[in-house]
Amino acid sequence: MAASPCFSLAARCSLLLTAALVLALSHGAHGYGGASAGLSSSFYDDSCPSARDIVRRVIQNARVADPRIPASLIRLHFHDCFVQGCDGSLLLDNDLPAIQTEKEVPANDRSAHGFDVVDSIKHALENACPGIVSCADILALASEISVELAGGPRWSVPLGRRDGTTTNVESANNLPSPFDSLQTLQEKFRNLALDDTDLVALQGAHTFGRAQCQFTQQNCSAGQDGETLVNLDTVTPDVFDNKYYGNLLHGRAPLPSDQVMLSDPAAAATTAPIVHRFSGSQKDFFKNFAASMVKMGNISPLTGRAGEIRNNCRRVNKKPY
């Protein structure tokens, strides 16, 4: 039997209200998860289709001069997302009293690198697509491209983040530390809805790059300056692979916070089985690393009309300079 005009109108109204609610939720300022966060891998397909190629080209050029750059860029993304979500707050310079930079907290001071490469990426993107690609998305794209260039997995990066206009030094002071216990690491990850598999997978980013010797288990050799760099993976220091987990199994992880995933008494029932899995299967590691990177990248993004698209990643737009 055909529906009455009144029923049809009510049904249409209900559908419109439902659609409006879904749209509003998907464009909320904060949230975990891909769709609910309002992010999409095709976000720039129309507005800046060359975005990924531009980011890749700048990173390729930068790593010729400094092989550490890929590892440095993924670390920036990690330290950005863990503070107040993936909003590019880490990239902001001091502009007191309004902005106190996160770059000077212990976890970043004189150890976080790659900011000049982010500047170069932003400059190139602004030339191609002015005011379109956020600094927060630059970090997300740069991380995936850096891993791929170093021999690691590729994944589809959800995009559409906007840039924050504040920093959070108090939260930045609580970033994961090279000296954290396993329990502390697990708590810091759980606070961001990241589980033990995410912890072990994301720590796997230490399969390439360098660290200052003062942060390592062996500390520094006699006469070495505390900021002397040592390879995080002594086997393949510039390659993204699963050799890192083999180092853990042999007690050769430079960072104490890495080795605790195997040596801590609580590890046997939590992280150690995952370390063994990833050591035995690079494919398994790559798959889980990519999934955990997407999960981390979805931590409290600014979307819709929240935040802004910075013209310069080091400062907010509204300030007169």
The string of pLDDT tens digits covering residues 73-86 is: 999 999 999 999 99
CATH number at residue 276: 1.10.420.10
Give the pTM: 0.86
Instruction: Please state, for a pLDDT cut of 70, what percent of the chain lies above it.
Output: 86
Asked, for residue 218, whether it belongs to a domain, the answer is: yes
Could you say which of 30, 77, 79, 250 is catalytic? 79
79 assigned to active site: yes
In a domain, 37, yes or no: no
12 pLDDT more than 60: no
Tokens 């007191």 identify what position?
96
Confidence of residue 222 (pLDDT cuts 50, 70, 90): low
Q: Which of 157, 164, 160, 166 is nearest to 132 (CA)?
A: 160
Contact 146, 74 (CB under 8 A): yes
Question: Where does residue 52 rank: exposed (0-12), middle (13-18), buried (19+ CB within 10 A)?
Answer: middle
- Residues that constitute the known binding site for heme b: 206
- Res 35 pLDDT > 50: no
Q: Is residue 38 part of a domain?
A: no
User: Range of 213's domain?
Assistant: 50-298
Q: Where are the beta strands (DSSP E) in 130-289?
A: 210-212, 229-231
Backbone phi and psi for residue 184, each to the nearest 5 degrees, phi listed first: -65, -45
| Structural domain contains residue 15 | no
**Binding site listing for Ca(2+):** 80, 83, 85, 87, 89, 102, 207, 233, 236, 241
Q: Is residue 16 part of a domain?
A: no
> Looking at the domain assignment, is residue 22 inside a domain?
no
Compute the distance between CA of residue 238 and CA of residue 260 in angstroms, rounded to an integer: 23
Q: Kindly state whether residue 67 falls inside one of the protein's structural domains.
A: yes
Summarize the confidence of residues 112-134 as an average pLDDT.
Answer: 97
**Is residue 8 situated within a structural domain?**
no
* Alpha-carbon torsion (228, 234, 236, 241), positive or negative: negative
Count: domains in the chain: 1
Residue-level pLDDT at 4 = 40
Beta strands per DSSP E along the chain: 210-212, 229-231
Binding residues for substrate: 176
Q: Which residues contact 111 (CB under 8 A, 6 or more apart)?
A: 211, 212, 215
pLDDT tens digits along 164-196: 999 999 999 999 999 999 999 999 999 999 999
> Are 180 and 268 a contacting pair, CB within 8 Å?
no
Taking only the tens place, the pLDDT of each residue in 267-278 is 999 999 999 999
